[in-house]
Structure formats: C-alpha cells, structure tokens
Amino acid sequence: MPEVIFTGPAGRLEGRYQHKKRDDKHPSPIALVLHPHPQGGGTMNSRVTFELFNMFESRGFSTLRFNFRGVGRSQGVYDGGIGELSDAAAALDWMQSFNPNAPTCWIAGHSFGAWISMQLLMRRPEIAGFISVSPPSNMYDFSFLAPCPSSGLIVTGRNDAVVPEADVDRLAERLKTQKGIVVEYQKVEGANHFYSNHTPQLIDMCAAYLDKRLAADAEKPRDA
C-alpha cells in the first residue's frame, strides 16, 4: 500500500493510503482509521488499526490510516487531543480531495483514536457511519455526543483493564436511547484493551456490522 505524506496543521503527516479506482458513475466510498494513544505506543501500524484498515480496503473503500503529530515521521508534538483532532480533519480533507464524489464516508478508531474519531464525527456531517473500538469513556468526556449524528458500532473487550466494561456500557446505553440513529454495542469475550489473541474475533464483529450496513445502503432507492 502506498506511503503518503500530506500537510497537517503542525507540519507533514505520514500515512498509508489505498485508493480504489472505480468508474466515474460508481466512485468508491472512503474510510479513515485512527490509531491509539501516541504516548502509549499507538501508531498507524498498531494491530487493530492495521486490521480495520484492511477490512475497509477489502470492501472497496479508499482507505487512509496515518500517524498523529509526533508519531513516526509525522511532524509536531503531542497536543492532548486538540491538535490530533485537527490532524484527523486534515487527513479527511486530504482524502476527500482525491475522492470528491465518494458516495459515503466512514470513520473508525481504537481507544484514543475512537475518542478523536467521535469528535470528528460531530464536526463532519458527511460521515455516515462509525466503528468505535474500546472508546476510553473513563478517561475522556464523551458528552459532546448530544446527540450522536450517525449510526455505528461500539465494541469493547470483556477483560479490558484500561477501560472498564462498565464505563463503555454507560456510554453505549446513553447513545442507544437517541432518536433517529441506531448504535449497536458488542463485546469480545476474553479480550483485553489491545485485543491480544482476540483481534480476529474483533474484526469479524466489525466486518459483519459493516457488511450489514453496506447491504442496507445498497437496497435504498438512489434518490433516498
């Protein structure tokens, strides 16, 4: 998959981008995948991030994952989430410049990346679906999701010692009660925060959800 360098708010950002070329009448959808905490060793090559990228790419999405500022060859320094949200917005802008007619846009993130992805979701109405893996609802405020603008999937591990299951339960329950959207919530039995030895089960859950959503979208009238 091609290495890419694009301009972010704090300098260059390093990424991996897979473009799916279709004909002009059927442009590819796009997906952005965000990695875990930069100060905890998270990079665009973290296992869950890498596998989510492959999941979208294998389903015909033009897909981007990238290193937040200060990670790998990305310039800048960690900014507590504020700058990283700006990085994610710049990444989506960059991808949209190559896919101006994309029929749909998805975002996914793991841990810290899930928190950033949900903030970007609130700011970008073109994002139609999300996959939020182990959102750190015990560490960060998710009250900005009021209401959550798009349907999506939340997944957590039953043995997560970093983000307790009960905290994600409360977040998911609050989002599930909002009118007009459907937020599904699933759990991976035996999985820790990093899905060690459980990544295939996680990706299977995410893929099944994505396939269901894509099939439902395909059945909608074109003018819906």
- Extents of the domains making up the chain: 3-219
- pLDDT interval class at 184 (50, 70, 90): very high
Q: What is the percent of the chain where pLDDT is above 90?
A: 90
Helix (H, G, I), strand (E, B) or coil at 133: strand
- For domain 3-219, the CATH architecture is 3-Layer(aba) Sandwich (3.40)
DSSP 86: H
pLDDT in tens, 163-181: 999 999 999 999 987 888 9
- Take residue 210 and report the two structure tokens written for it: 């994505």
Mean pLDDT confidence for 50-67: 98
Phi, psi of 29 (to 5 degrees): -70, 170
The residue with tokens 């905490």 is: 37
pLDDT of residue 220: 75
30 vs 8: CA distance, rounded Å? 19
From the CB of residue 68, how many other CB atoms can be counted at a distance below 10 Å?
33
Check if the beta carbon of residue 153 is closer than 8 Å to that of residue 186: yes
- pLDDT interval class at 146 (50, 70, 90): confident
pLDDT in tens, 23-42: 777 899 999 999 999 999 99
pLDDT of residue 95: 97
CA torsion through residues 39, 41, 46, 47, sign: negative
pTM (2 decimals)? 0.96
